[in-house]
Amino acid sequence: MDTGNAEMSGGKTSICLKDSICPDPPEEEWVTRECLVPLREKRKPTEKRGAPSKWLMKDTREEKKWKMLESFDLPEQLVCPLCLEAFMDPMLLDCGHNMCHLCLLSLSQQLSASCPLCLKSLSGQKCKANHALGSLAQQIKEAGSAQSADQHLNSCKTGQWLREQASCVAQLNVSVEKDSDDLEDDLVELQTQFKHLKGQCKLQEQSMSKLSEMASRLDQHLESEFSILQRFLQERKEKLQRELHKDVTEAKRLMDEELKKMREKCQSMEEAVGRITGDNGSSASGKGIQFLTNRCGEGQNTDFPKWSLDKIESRLLGQFRGPVQFAAWRDMRDVLEPGLSCPRLDPGVAHPDLLLSEGHCRISYFPRSWESTLNTPRFTQYLVALGTPKYKSGKHYWELEIGMDTECDIGVSLDTISRNDPFALHPDDGCWVCSIRGDQHIVAFDSSPRIFLQQKKPKRIGIYLGYEEGQISFYNAQTMGHIYTFRATFQGDLRAYISPCSVTDGERCEQLLRVFQQNL
């Protein structure tokens, strides 16, 4: 396998040094943990077995260099450090040194090749053609050959010119090194942006996958929730239909039996009339009159039909066109699991200035004088009341009625929040709270506050708690429109959190909040 190759296109030459055989890893220096690319490698020169020592190579280069300078007065900056000749197609390395193109190709074929000046490994270094340096070296070389015959006469001018050219070369090298440093900084910045963007793409793909999984779970949940209601309603409908068909069938049977009896009597009467009209004797006439008198008496005592359409219609309409939905809804309560909860306010922990109603479902502000004691179970720092019972599992839903001019904080909190010390409305402090502000604003105090603008102030707020699911959701209870949802992993007892936060000192207020009693 080749360890190096060269490509030439459009007059430009680039060399790629492959890492098929890796040299000893250089020592790396890192500024911070965020640094993605190591700084310039610093390594001490080491002597390779079978290769001349650094100082021997340096002496050889020095001898040959002085010979060249004596014959051509060629500056040191224009001499290849490997062949010690004037540069031919010089290549600029990442380390800042130049080398002839052919010399670099030859050197790259060696194992563990390194720069002859700084001994930095060539593995992984990039290089580019230094046309300006090559052109300058060629011009000086040609000028040196032309002036060899008249070197003594023009030595002063040539020396001055060479010094100027050497100064230009030095400035050129400084400019190239500066551009190389800027390029390295740009590369680091580009690599950082690329890594960040690649990470964002991966996170976006994961988010899309999680969204699909969540949609599938929610679809299954809705199917499960409504399948119970659909099955109940379907069974209820089929039951009523069976009862209707049964009643109609029974009514038809009874009406058919009566119809048969009436037809038999009609036939009997018809035969009697025929017999009477067929007899001509006086005795027969007397018997016929007696028969008709008896039949008329029987007809007056018989109520035909017993099962008339009016009676059947009245019975069917009353049973199957009455409050059918109400009856089904009333029976539906046995299969529904709405998770309705009616928490009461705990007078043992409510702030002393909060007056609770007799049923512990209403809050009013009633300031009074009281002594603050340490370790009291009641809130003394803020106007806060907690609900009871405590929730440690299951699904629960309750609603709170809000006064017209009341601003309040409502939601769920841990039972262990501080009673006497300050705390923040933040999930880290065990509070998952939304605040009603003004007439149209609702603020959700999540890790970063979220503000929602309502068309008008809601009169009732619904709060849903799913303990195992780690969900606390807020709704406009009048429209069941969703406001905000907190997600968390709960540990410990949770309680309803209520705080009227906009009362005026020294001013009594009537009902501020009320736990709405929702009964099915």
**DSSP character string of 375-388:** T-SS--SS--EEEE
Task: Check residue 23 and give its pLDDT.
Answer: 42
Q: What pLDDT sits at residue 122?
A: 80
User: Which pLDDT score is estimated for 294?
Assistant: 61
**pTM for this entry:** 0.49
Residue 50, pLDDT score? 41
Contact 332, 344 (CB under 8 A): no
CA 441 to CA 436: how far, in whole Å?
Answer: 6
d(CA 241, CA 243): 5
Beta bridge partners of 15: 6
In this structure, the number of other CB atoms found within 10 A of the CB of residue 414 comes to 18
Task: Identify the residue whose tokens are 């680039």.
Answer: 14
17-26: long-range contacts at Cβ-Cβ below 8 A with a sequence spacing of 24 or more?
17/108, 17/113, 17/122, 17/123, 17/124, 17/125, 19/123, 19/124, 21/111, 21/112, 22/123, 23/112, 23/114, 23/121, 23/123, 24/112, 26/120, 26/121
Low pLDDT (below 70) residues in the chain: 1-74, 144-159, 279-307, 336-340, 369, 371-375, 405, 502-514, 516-520
Contact of 498 with 424, CB cutoff 8 Å: no
What proportions of the chain, in percent to the nearest 5, are helix, strand and coil? Answer: 40, 20, 40
Strand order in the sheet with 471-476: 354-356, 362-365, 509-516, 395-402, 460-466, 471-476, 481-487
Beta bridge partners of 365: 354, 509
State the pLDDT at residue 56.
37
